[in-house]
């Protein structure tokens, strides 16, 4: 009984963590799409704040999945055949983190020349995160036959 309760708590944490990541992705999308004309400093500040929030959620996601008691350890114990998928997702963490760090540097301090580049890179980051979340959902489903749903 205790094991079932612990597993339920882990799944609830996974769903909560994914929802927080999705919310911070939405905040970045909103900030990137805002108008720049007339007040580029304010636009850059909004984007930077959204990036900082997203950075915290991504780093939390990496800890949740790659940590010593993380999701990937459990996936590999349950379904070792998925090691290639786990390796792929882990590699994506490095790519996403590098892109995020680049964007944070570009928005501190704001530079007028970087607006187009920040929008383009920010959109690239969001696209990679959407794909990463889809692959993560597929991994969880393949390992546990658990559907995380489209909203999480």
The pTM for the full model equals 0.88
Residue 85 in domain: yes
Which CATH number is 68's domain given?
1.20.120
Tokens for 17?
A: 């963590």
Residue 150 in domain: no
Task: Print burial letters for 109-126: b (CB count within 10 Å at least 16), e (below 16).
Answer: ebeeebbeebbebbeebb
Residue 151 in domain: no
Residue 149 in domain: no
Q: How many domains does the chain have?
A: 1
Residue 43 in domain: yes
Q: What pLDDT does residue 4 have?
A: 47
My answer on whether omega of the bond before 74 falls inside 30° of 0, hence cis, is no
Domain extent, residue 75, equals 2-144
Q: What percent of the chain has pLDDT over 90?
A: 71
Residue 132 in domain: yes
- Predicted confidence (pLDDT) per residue in 68-101, tens digit: 999 999 999 999 999 999 999 999 999 999 999 9
Q: How far is CA 5 from the centre of its chain?
A: 27
Residue 37 in domain: yes
Q: What is the mean pLDDT of residues 61-67?
A: 95
């Amino acid at each position: 009984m205790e094991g079932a309760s612990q597993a339920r708590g882990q799944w609830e944490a996974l769903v909560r963590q994914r929802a927080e990541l999705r919310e911070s992705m939405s905040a970045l999308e909103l900030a990137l799409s805002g108008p720049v004309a007339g007040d580029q400093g304010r636009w850059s500040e909004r984007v930077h704040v959204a990036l900082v929030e997203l950075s915290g959620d991504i780093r939390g996601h990496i800890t949740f999945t790659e940590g010593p008691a993380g999701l990937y350890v459990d996936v590999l114990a349950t379904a070792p055949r998925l090691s290639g998928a786990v390796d792929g997702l882990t590699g994506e963490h490095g790519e996403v983190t590098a892109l995020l760090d680049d964007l944070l540097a570009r928005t501190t301090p704001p530079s007028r020349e970087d607006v187009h580049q920040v929008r383009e890179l920010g959109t690239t980051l969001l696209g990679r995160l959407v794909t990463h979340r889809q692959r993560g959902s597929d991994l969880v489903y393949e390992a546990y036959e658990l559907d995380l749903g489209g909203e999480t």
